Structure 1
């Protein structure tokens, strides 16, 4: 990102940058410097203070593996992962920008986003069963790939605990659409999502939304 572009964006997003800087005192000195810049302000404008996510379906960034976050940004920039909003942001980021943002958000631990109405206990219980045990031989347990508690497993399998329910539902539907468009490779998230029905998706989303990351 050019110096001129940074200055212009900083002027329009200064309020967001100030908010994020004020809430990031636990970050290291290097990531605190990132928090003062325009890129972090752009992120929190949608992803919430410290990357907590949004009940409207914007994913949580806080606490995720930095390698995963940086790789996701690189895919948005390359267009191999599609999101018009994210591609607009990522196209102006350098590799060092992506890495700095990834490290910053990986070090943040804001509270979970709370929905206007908490999910029904029966939904949460059913979702817990699916996440931990799956459903027979047809539906794999979420945690078999995403690690115990959905905390994430390296750069390939992101943390899924604490994601707003609306995001999990939308993301799984996205994978399902891919599965319908072309036969997915075995073991991929596309293949797994293709085995879920709408009720199971709602259950898993409810459980993950109240699970600490």
Structure 2
């Protein structure tokens, strides 16, 4: 039944019946100017405009406002835990959340540098090693693209496109996050945390059900690919 439901979501997304909105739309009722002031304490980790410079901290710029509000509420209520964010969320009320979400959703997300893989410095032929690394990253991105768009029928891994959109823009009404141009390291950590149950103890959580079927190599590949989406 769960697999049929996920397949149904994919069909809706591809057909256009599932409403997909762009993340830059501001939160209804939120105030950008007020949100900028209220988000000042977030800048240390997430950047002044929501573009974190640290690869393990998520970019919040151009994120769907509904998703940002949902996550702040989860931190405040305790259904999602983080030593820093749980404390930060306790200090904001519903109006603050809407304003902060409105501000971040109105900011443009920064593009990531072209991804690379380490070159074997000990290789006898440096040029060959560099070419091998370039070929490896292209293979990784190709694998990630296929997983994002088609999933893995053999292992029943659902395609990411069903919930997160053709361009990684997410789905604002469904509170599905935008993923495009997110940090690779953060994506890998998040998917790994879903897979291990660290992110959610709910075994009916959609992301837990999907990631538990993914290999570490698949998580790496799709994370690298998503980081290149614009």
Superposition TM-score tier, normalisation by shorter sequence: 0.7 to 0.9
- Shift in Å, 1:146: 1.3
- Shift in Å, 1:113: 3.9
Match runs of 1:11-50 below 5 Å = 30-35=31-36, 37=37, 39-50=38-49
* Maintained 8 Å contact 2:35/2:101: no
Q: What CA deviation, in whole Å up to 9, does each residue of 1:50-103 have, x standing for no partner?
A: 112344311121111111111110111111111111111111011111110000
Separation in 1, partners of 2:33, 2:189: 32
Q: Which residue of 2 aligns with 1:92?
A: 91
Instruction: Indicate whether 1:130 and 2:129 are aligned.
Output: no
Separation in 1, partners of 2:139, 2:78: 39
Instruction: Indicate whether 1:195 and 2:196 are aligned.
Output: no
Separation in 1, partners of 2:91, 2:111: 29
Normalising by structure 1, report the TM-score.
0.77
Instruction: Indicate whether 1:53 and 2:52 are aligned.
Output: yes
* Maintained 8 Å contact 1:53/1:113: no
Greater Rg by CA: 2
Q: Which residue of 1 aligns with 2:127?
A: none
Separation in 2, partners of 1:123, 1:56: 19
Q: What CA deviation, in whole Å up to 9, does each residue of 1:129-156 have, x standing for no partner?
A: 1001111151111111212222101242
Normalising by structure 2, report the TM-score.
0.71
CA RMSD of aligned residues (A): 2.3
Q: Which has the higher contact order (CA 8 A, sep 6+)?
A: 2
Q: Structure 1 or 2: larger helix share?
A: 1
* Count of aligned pairs between the two proteins: 179
Instruction: Indicate whether 1:205 and 2:226 are aligned.
Output: no
Shift in alpha-carbon separation, 1:48–1:182, aligned structure 2, 3 A: closer
Separation in 1, partners of 2:82, 2:40: 19
Greater mean deviation of Cα atoms: 193-202 or 135-144? 135-144
Greater mean deviation of Cα atoms: 159-168 or 51-60? 51-60
Separation in 1, partners of 2:85, 2:202: 27
Unpaired stretches in structure 1, ≥5 consecutive residues: 1-29
